[in-house]
Every structure is written in C-alpha cells, then in structure tokens.
C-alpha cells in the first residue's frame, strides 16, 4: 500500500507499479488535475495545504476500508500540497483487483472519501482574488451527475 502527502510531483506510473499484483486482472488509475476554470471563474493556480501525518493516517484508513469493501489486491493514494499550476496532478488513486467493475467502483469511492474525510485544503487563485474552497464546491457537487454523488 502506497500512501503519501508530498510537495513533490506525483507519478501515476509509481502508483500503478505499487499496486501491481499477479492476482489483479485490473489496475485502475485516477488522476485529479488542476483545471483552468471553476464556477465560471478563470483559475490561475491552486494552493493545497494539509496536516500530512493526519492526512496520511486517514488516507490509509480509507485504503483499508476500500480493500475490504471492494476486495482489492492493493491501493495507492497520493496527494500533492503546495502551489499547483494548471494541468498539474493533485491526486492519484490507483487500485488493483480481480475485475474491472470493482476497480472503477473502488476508485470512485476512494476519491469521494478522500474529498470528504482527509484534512487537505484547497485555495483557488484567480486574476482578481483568491478563496479557500470548502464544502460542496470542493466535491464538485454542482457539476457531478447525481449517480456519482456520495
């Protein structure tokens, strides 16, 4: 199991290698990337802050729950902190398991749980201001289809 909060760039390849298993028929990797707009505003960049020890402890708990709930072989959760530019990866979730359906379901569940439970905060910076985003905005609730909401 690979769990990490870091200011260093994240590697999807590292996460996929970490969860690889001869018993896995599926490896699913999710990348959360910084986009250039949110709620109709042009985003310049994001700043993430966290309590790394607490965040990693909660990420590990989420990974353990996901392994039990979805029958995963393994799981990796990586979250970036600091200043991130448009297009940079802020979150990597990789899961391995016997079948593809469970890999997709587990990946979605893990991302939603990370957004709800892990002590990581996001500040959006625009040309004319900035704001620490909390609550539904950080979960993308306005844009997510009802079937994908937690």
- Give the number of C-alpha atoms closer than 13 A to the C-alpha of residue 132, restricted to the C-beta side: 6
Residue where the block lists tokens 């620490």? 132
Q: Domain for residue 150, yes or no?
A: no
Write out pLDDT tens, residues 29-45.
999 999 999 888 999 99
Specify the pTM: 0.87
CA–CA separation, 69 and 109 (whole Å)? 10
Q: Domain for residue 18, yes or no?
A: yes
Q: Domain for residue 76, yes or no?
A: yes
Instruction: Find the distance separating the first CA and the last CA of the chain, reported in whole Å.
Output: 24
Write out pLDDT tens, residues 127-149.
889 998 853 344 444 444 444 33
Q: Domain for residue 119, yes or no?
A: yes
Q: Domain for residue 147, yes or no?
A: no
What local confidence, expressed as pLDDT, does residue 135 receive? 37
Categorize the per-residue pLDDT at 6 as very low, low, confident or very high, splitting at 50, 70 and 90. Answer: very high
What local confidence, expressed as pLDDT, does residue 68 receive? 97
Full residue range of the structural domain in which residue 100 is found: 2-135
Q: Domain for residue 74, yes or no?
A: yes
Question: 3-state DSSP call for residue 43?
Answer: strand
What local confidence, expressed as pLDDT, does residue 142 receive? 44
Q: Domain for residue 140, yes or no?
A: no
Residue where the block lists tokens 């260093």? 8
Domain count, the chain: 1
Write out pLDDT tens, residues 8-19.
999 999 999 999
Question: Quick one: tokens of 64?
Answer: 């353990």
Residue 49 has pLDDT above 90, yes or no: yes
Residue 107 has pLDDT above 70, yes or no: yes
| DSSP symbol at 7 | S
Q: Domain for residue 51, yes or no?
A: yes
- Three-state SS letters, 64-110: HHHHHHHCCCEEEEEEECEEEECCCEEEEEEEEECCHHHHHHHHHHH
Residue 29: give its domain's CATH number: 3.90.1170.40
Write out pLDDT tens, residues 73-104.
999 999 999 999 999 999 999 999 999 999 99
């Amino acid at each position: 199991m690979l769990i990490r909060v870091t200011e260093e760039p994240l590697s999807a390849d590292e996460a996929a290698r970490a969860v690889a298993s001869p018993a896995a028929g599926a490896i699913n990797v999710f990348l959360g990337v910084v986009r250039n707009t949110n709620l109709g505003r042009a985003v310049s960049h994001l700043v993430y802050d966290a309590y790394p020890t607490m965040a990693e402890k909660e990420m590990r708990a989420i990974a353990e729950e996901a392994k039990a709930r979805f029958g995963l072989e393994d799981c990796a959760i990586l979250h970036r902190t600091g200043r991130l530019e448009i297009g940079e990866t802020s979150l990597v979730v990789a899961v391995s398991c016997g079948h593809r359906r469970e890999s997709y379901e587990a990946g979605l569940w893990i991302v939603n749980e990370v957004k709800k439970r892990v002590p990581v905060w996001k500040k959006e910076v625009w040309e004319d201001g900035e704001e620490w985003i909390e609550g539904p905005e950080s979960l993308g609730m306005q844009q997510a289809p009802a079937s994908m909401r937690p």
